[in-house]
Amino acid sequence: MTKIHYTALVDPRAELGRNVAIGPFCLVEAGAVIGDDCKLEARAVVKSRTTLGCNNSICEGAVIGGTAQHLQLHEPGGMLTIGDNNRIRENVTIHRGWANHATTVIKDNNVLMVSSHVGHDCQVGSRCILVNHVLLGGFVQVNDGAYLGGAAAVVQHCRIGRLAMVGAMTKISQDVPPYVTVVDAQVIGLNRDGLRNSGVTLADMLQLKAAYRVIYRQGLRWVEVLATLESDFTTGPAADFTCFLKSGQRGFVQERRVPHKTTLKLANHSHSEPVEANDGQFAQDRQRLRDAA
């Protein structure tokens, strides 16, 4: 049975499914569609041309389906489609598509934490996590299982690959390949925790490590990287690299590197004076540690 608090404003032209709960001071505009078992907490707003699937939770103060933040607005503007089992926390904002035919899409089983923002025409896959204050510019694509840390900001038209992890307060202005971890706008390795939690097998993990070395460690030209990926990694998760890296218009986040001509002071326990190690020696030692890992 649908329950609507007496202070809520629900336009009679909105469509409500079964067992919908609408809390105090909520607003549901004409043309909004709210699926079965959805719950709107106090002051939540669902704008027109917005469709919610089943079992979505919209928390206090969230505004779902606002018009695009753009200097040139279309009338009536695009649409917003949200799938099933999403948790949209307090004060989240999600904008509809910009052009009349365009649609912002958020699929299933996502968590959008407090005050995160999804801009117009974004495409968010399933099982993604956007931590507090994450900002997605217009036309951003976030693929399944991606994790964006608190206050991470993604520039418009960028893509975040499947099961990628973006560290807190990181600005992303280029595409993030699948399965990697990015901190301070630099790739620091594979997202091992995310891969393990998603059930990736040991064999697939080894394949991903081999593909990662091809992309970032072997010093190949870009055409050689793509050719090697396409010929050597045709199955399993590593095959996703080829498709992702062949497309995109903003370039790709690069791996973190030790600056050239770096001299490190290494403690020598058999002498009172430290000894120096040049950058070549350090790179070799660092590579051995990576291979061992």
| pLDDT single digits (tens) 75-98 | 999 999 999 999 999 999 999 999
Q: Which of 108, 121, 144, 240 is catalytic?
A: 121
CA distance 180 to 168: 15
Tell me whether residue 138 is one of the annotated catalytic residues. yes
> What number of CA atoms fall less than 13 Å from residue 233's CA on the CB side?
26
| pLDDT single digits (tens) 192-222 | 999 999 999 999 999 999 999 999 999 999 9
Tell me whether residue 240 is one of the annotated catalytic residues. no
User: How confident is the model at residue 277, as a pLDDT?
Assistant: 47
Q: Which of 83, 138, 149, 194 is catalytic?
A: 138
- Per-residue confidence band for 283, with pLDDT thresholds at 50, 70 and 90: low
User: Where does residue 110 rank: exposed (0-12), middle (13-18), buried (19+ CB within 10 A)?
Assistant: buried
Output the pTM of the full model. Answer: 0.87
| pLDDT single digits (tens) 251-267 | 999 999 755 554 544 45
Tell me whether residue 121 is one of the annotated catalytic residues. yes
- Per-residue confidence band for 249, with pLDDT thresholds at 50, 70 and 90: confident
Architecture of domain 3-139: 3 Solenoid (2.160)
Average pLDDT over residues 44-57: 98
Q: Which of 120, 145, 161, 189 is catalytic?
A: 120
